[in-house]
Structure 1
């Protein structure tokens, strides 16, 4: 045992830099894998915990169309067993705020008349400010999502746009408001003092609207309640209903994406780490072949030789894994806190689960390292002292290397005709074939990770270019009706008809449809509710796209989201029976589309189809406008917004999307940057380590080169050139993997959220630049590892 310990310490001390890098590699592997496990373990936990804590709504009913009596609906739901309902909340909508001298038009606010009675459903949890029954006069409470998006803190003053006037109110608190507090949303509830509401909002032109939150003891039974409601009320519910899937989806999607990317790349990192350790041991055995042969001739057994490496890497692993676990807990908290920041209360970190799972990852990683050490160290058993002393390797390996260096492949390169520097670089790559394969795989992986991160972030920040592929329209301008009771629709239509800059336009309304459980055996008799889009105009002209088939054009046609198509096993050409406002209609499915909104549990029908149910249907929420010259969109939107600012909000499509998805990019940039940085660092470490080992084995050769007149700098540049050429090949393969393979795996996660084909924006220059980062890391790793050639005299290199 003393001999084994002494040899282990000798190996550790003799290669301090190399062993330090291996320990760092183990640490980074532990860090990435345990962080991935913790993020995956916490995906959705924070939302579910906060939803339970606040007794959150499963459905939100908004009464803004005048088609149902809010008090009657509230009374019916309040009388049901197994259901809890909120107060009948009074509100009016406004659009736009001013903050710190900046106008922010693309935010839609429900100005709530805060009830003084304790809330049973959707309790408000204060993140900052003093909890009160209602806000103080002259102040409001805003959701944490709005505060985070615009940097608003308690004590700040916000101006709320109410057409031609602005209401200046102080923010006295920020609250976690689960139904309207998800990230990446431009809709929020602002809670006002009743006297302020009466003075500033209720006096505005237009009628009060109402809102109702419903919490089910068993959410899966909600459709049974709605069927009973329709029977007892004598008519279906005709107002707007927001489903639980819409409430929860944006809370969960970012953590799902981050968790998936990190768990996948964590496994890749683990595989690279284990293979690297195995190659390092193999190369270490070859480098010390003579020494081991001499020790065996002196009586050191094979078991003790293997035990020496096990002891060495046990010490390295123990030193590296523990800090890796500690860092992973801290980084996991950081990533989780920013990804679900709207659920944070005050400055307190969100409680993170999965510490035990991270510890198990550490134990598993330690066991895997020892297993690989034993597997690769067993090669020491075959060492024969005589061959070791004569060849520095086994006779078979010596013959194999000679054949490789004299093979037709090397002749094909024409070494005799190549410059000396090129010959040295290529020879270094060919002679250490296993290490070269590892470097190739490593640079491929690092490049693919960097390319995926760049493509994903650029695709989100540039979502305006691919809006139609995410399920949105592709029109130049969108006008959202904020106050329906005062909106001058005839004047707006007249403006559109008379403005020569406008090419076409289409009004859109939203309805709820119900698919009977008889439509599919998979639903087991349960009905399915889906969001219906009703368009006056052409879906094609306004840029709505489909994955398969086409958008509806006739009154008996419908296009459905992929979520509906998959759950019902429907294809274009099939028929779909749909209940709209209690009336049954049969539609021909003309197309299938994907949409991140409502998780693709949605459908598109024409206004003609809606007119067969409700003649002269005109309950539109927005209008999409195309221009003859899209470059004029900003000017036209500004003019229309000024004219109709009392009841509508008119913005360009780019403004509408950027204000929402820029936040998603801001959240994703931190974990993607961390992963990219880790892989760059690992690329440098592994290439440094493997090159250092191979240089040490070839020290005699490089000593001869120096004695023949080659400078150290020229030899080092030759080695770096060979590695750069190899990593360039890996970078090219990494581009293919990052652009075509990894997005397919990511689509498996996004499919649950309605996106089965990830819309990517491919910027060739940016992709190449990011892929080249791994080449730079590889070149630097090989350059620094060859410093020993410069620092050692030719005589000493030959002696070694």
Structure 2
């Protein structure tokens, strides 16, 4: 019996059934895909960490090293499972040629390594440990993805020629955020290359108890072991850096799926209440003859159960091929997840969750059957709709609108609750369209540098100890050249140094501090501001969180052998260098200098690439990076992932707008058949009435778009902040494309709504006065 009733109801209301099924299918597709991508992502990261036997503690060091002291320390630590000292031959990008092109413009620290013996293995694309033959080189995957290298290419460094034999997965340096890239060669080739670069060391440990990482790190620093390099890299940080690119895409998909579910709920509520109103008298009769409310509700829930069940099954099936292209980046960088059987199960559970939530919502609406008065329903049918009217909006006082436009706007103001569904959907559509694109535009914008620990500039010059024997003298030479260059508007020199810092438990910790004028190129501060005196220090958000510090708190550093008491003046965002840095402006005679960064602003912004190239040629030991290119290379994979999500969100926004507007206008015309018949009997033509409905649609669409744009730039900004904060940004503001947010998006949503409105009100001309005037 239920099957026959369901099929008859679906045939009678095809558009309603198709629209609701479409939204449920979209929600199921997105939820299932996000679930499968999520489990595959975490599985792939774990699988890579296990296959490569990834490190638990990694300290990079440039300069002299005492391997015997390190071995003694490792032997004395009960928590050490394994220790090794790996070499990293840092070679200037301008000296590395792949084919005819050099890596001069690469912002990564490119270096050569040999395969490790015990752990931190470099793997091929099959997940096997690589053992290159003499004359072979395995290249980081990033250069395969951007097209810089292909298998069979020749790689040359100062006449040493190597054949690209393949590409490697690197658990420590896979992500663009890592800042360094390892090329794998044989021991013999490494010896041949050794004279063309500067040696750095990777001091690596695997721990028996990872929970004791902080204690082990404190012991390492207390022993005054080599630490002239970036902050220590831990296993959780490796996992985060490897997962963040695909993780952000998954987060955007989840956000979209939640909004689609909300739209589905709005449509279900609107259509179900309309159906209840239409069947009000019949419901009263069924209650009068003694049919239980539960059984009456089943007649309605059965249809939605059938539609939801079919839609969720369809959504799950669609999600299987959809998730494949979205996992390309994951498979390339991390390989198989090892969760092949579990992923479809998680996807199916996601679709089942959508089904259960929809059925719960339908049943919650149907509870109002209990409140329907039987006698009144049988005698009078559904209660007449109460129109509150639009106070102060009288036709006699109208001087602004034409007659039809006035009547359309007045109807919207009189029946606000009725139009709330369409309004809410247009708000959500605008939100879905704008927010992912704004996130993409923000990360790809030059201003995003302010979240990377360096202020906005036209190009920057980077110097490391591995690139020059005397970094400070090299920085002075570059500064002199910049000062004499009339094209330069301003610049500043920021020296990255490492200082010891007494912890509360008496142990010594290490803090990387960038010294210089931090007001010249300010970064993004969430609290306070840049240091202005030599006793002030600003902390990155992750450092502030770990050290439990806020502006006004005290902090002690060991500077030139003496304690220097500092006051925290600000908290800023830094999503590079493991997110753990600090900024100060004092001077020091003796500290571990890691690198120097010189941000530069030009008088002519268009000459950035040309000027950067000139300084790269003049100072080949340094690395110059044009701002836009620096951001692109650091976040290239992340940008690709978010762009894919933004394309999906645009398609969803268009689908939502067209289907819901079409459904709403058709149901509104059906609901207003009597009113339309009355208007026709008064002399209004079908064209007049269509213009009234167009006016209603334009009014609601305009309001929905305005509110949607506002929310996209407020709540959407907060949502984007949650994503970015996952890797070190304390504050976040959109740097979106105003043409897209304020012109293209509203036009796109508006055009979709207008096309759907025209289609939805087309049948007004076919309504006969004689037939529907009797419905009074």
Q: What is the TM-score with the length of structure 2 in the denominator?
A: 0.87
- In structure 1, the residue matched to 2:653 is 679
Q: 2:168 aligns with which of 175, 184, 193?
A: 175
CA distance in structure 2 between the aligned counterparts of 1:606 and 1:371, rounded to whole angstroms: 60
CA displacement, residues 198-255 of structure 1 (integer Å, 9 cap, x when unaligned): 33x2243x554433332222234345445545666x6664455542265444323334
Q: 1:77 aligns with which of 74, 77, 98?
A: 74
Q: 2:355 aligns with which of 366, 378, 382?
A: 366
1:681 offset after TM fit, Å? 1.4
CA distance in structure 2 between the aligned counterparts of 1:231 and 1:389, rounded to whole angstroms: 86
- In structure 2, the residue matched to 1:564 is 543
1:169 offset after TM fit, Å? 3.6
For these two proteins, the number of residue pairs brought into alignment is: 766
Counterpart check, 1:216 vs 2:224: no
Q: 2:136 aligns with which of 136, 139, 144?
A: 139
- In structure 2, the residue matched to 1:637 is 612
Counterpart check, 1:789 vs 2:769: no
Q: 1:51 aligns with which of 38, 46, 49?
A: 49
- In structure 1, the residue matched to 2:408 is 425
**1:565 to 1:295, Cα distance in 2 relative to 1, 3 A:** closer
CA distance in structure 1 between the aligned counterparts of 2:509 and 2:332, rounded to whole angstroms: 30
1:576 offset after TM fit, Å? 0.3
**1:218 to 1:90, Cα distance in 2 relative to 1, 3 A:** same
CA distance in structure 2 between the aligned counterparts of 1:359 and 1:539, rounded to whole angstroms: 52
Q: 1:282 aligns with which of 266, 273, 278?
A: 273
CA distance in structure 1 between the aligned counterparts of 2:395 and 2:506, rounded to whole angstroms: 69
CA displacement, residues 471-503 of structure 1 (integer Å, 9 cap, x when unaligned): 223343322236223878265455345434445
CA distance in structure 2 between the aligned counterparts of 1:285 and 1:237, rounded to whole angstroms: 72
**1:44 to 1:296, Cα distance in 2 relative to 1, 3 A:** closer
**1:568 to 1:124, Cα distance in 2 relative to 1, 3 A:** closer
User: Do the aligned residues in 2 keep the contact of 1:578 with 1:585 (CA within 8 Å)?
Assistant: yes
User: Do the aligned residues in 2 keep the contact of 1:471 with 1:595 (CA within 8 Å)?
Assistant: yes
Q: What is the TM-score with the length of structure 1 in the denominator?
A: 0.84
CA displacement, residues 746-767 of structure 1 (integer Å, 9 cap, x when unaligned): 4345434221211321443321
The answer for unaligned runs of 5 or more in structure 2 is none
Counterpart check, 1:189 vs 2:186: no
User: Could you say what the CA RMSD is over the residues aligned between the two structures, in angstroms?
Assistant: 3.8
- In structure 1, the residue matched to 2:706 is 732
- In structure 1, the residue matched to 2:485 is 499
CA distance in structure 2 between the aligned counterparts of 1:23 and 1:230, rounded to whole angstroms: 61
User: Do the aligned residues in 2 keep the contact of 1:313 with 1:370 (CA within 8 Å)?
Assistant: yes
SS at match of 1:127: coil
- In structure 2, the residue matched to 1:522 is none
- In structure 1, the residue matched to 2:750 is 775
**1:373 to 1:741, Cα distance in 2 relative to 1, 3 A:** closer
- In structure 2, the residue matched to 1:586 is 565
CA distance in structure 1 between the aligned counterparts of 2:418 and 2:154, rounded to whole angstroms: 61
CA distance in structure 2 between the aligned counterparts of 1:602 and 1:772, rounded to whole angstroms: 44
CA distance in structure 1 between the aligned counterparts of 2:401 and 2:108, rounded to whole angstroms: 69
Counterpart check, 1:574 vs 2:563: no
CA displacement, residues 18-55 of structure 1 (integer Å, 9 cap, x when unaligned): 21222112212223334445555566443233223311
Q: 2:194 aligns with which of 184, 202, 217?
A: 202
1:669 offset after TM fit, Å? 1.1
CA distance in structure 1 between the aligned counterparts of 2:292 and 2:397, rounded to whole angstroms: 46
Q: 1:744 aligns with which of 718, 722, 737?
A: 718
**1:313 to 1:427, Cα distance in 2 relative to 1, 3 A:** farther
- In structure 1, the residue matched to 2:513 is 533
1:436 offset after TM fit, Å? 0.7
Most deviating of 26-35 and 37-46: 37-46
Q: How does 1:214-613 map to 2 (within 5 A)?
A: 214-229=205-220, 237-238=227-228, 240-244=230-234, 247-289=238-280, 304-332=295-323, 334-338=325-329, 341-344=332-335, 351=340, 355-379=344-368, 393-394=381-382, 397-398=383-384, 400-401=385-386, 403-404=387-388, 408=391, 411=394, 419-423=402-406, 425-426=408-409, 429=412, 433-462=416-445, 464-481=446-463, 483-485=467-469, 489=474, 492=478, 494-502=480-488, 504-518=490-504, 525=505, 529=509, 531-535=511-515, 537-544=516-523, 546-579=525-558, 584-598=563-577, 600-606=579-585, 608=587, 610-611=588-589, 613=590
User: Do the aligned residues in 2 keep the contact of 1:572 with 1:591 (CA within 8 Å)?
Assistant: yes
User: Do the aligned residues in 2 keep the contact of 1:432 with 1:694 (CA within 8 Å)?
Assistant: no
CA distance in structure 2 between the aligned counterparts of 1:202 and 1:194, rounded to whole angstroms: 10
SS at match of 2:713: helix
**1:730 to 1:193, Cα distance in 2 relative to 1, 3 A:** same
CA displacement, residues 608-661 of structure 1 (integer Å, 9 cap, x when unaligned): 1x32x44xx76644433444554443333222211232x222233333223223
- In structure 2, the residue matched to 1:120 is 118
CA displacement, residues 392-443 of structure 1 (integer Å, 9 cap, x when unaligned): x43xx22x53x546x6466479689953432553366457643411111111
1:311 offset after TM fit, Å? 1.8
CA distance in structure 2 between the aligned counterparts of 1:473 and 1:46, rounded to whole angstroms: 35
User: Do the aligned residues in 2 keep the contact of 1:680 with 1:774 (CA within 8 Å)?
Assistant: yes
**1:315 to 1:217, Cα distance in 2 relative to 1, 3 A:** same
User: Do the aligned residues in 1 keep the contact of 2:88 with 2:112 (CA within 8 Å)?
Assistant: yes
User: Do the aligned residues in 2 keep the contact of 1:451 with 1:771 (CA within 8 Å)?
Assistant: no
The answer for unaligned runs of 5 or more in structure 1 is 519-524
1:179 offset after TM fit, Å? 0.8
Counterpart check, 1:689 vs 2:663: yes
User: Do the aligned residues in 2 keep the contact of 1:127 with 1:144 (CA within 8 Å)?
Assistant: no
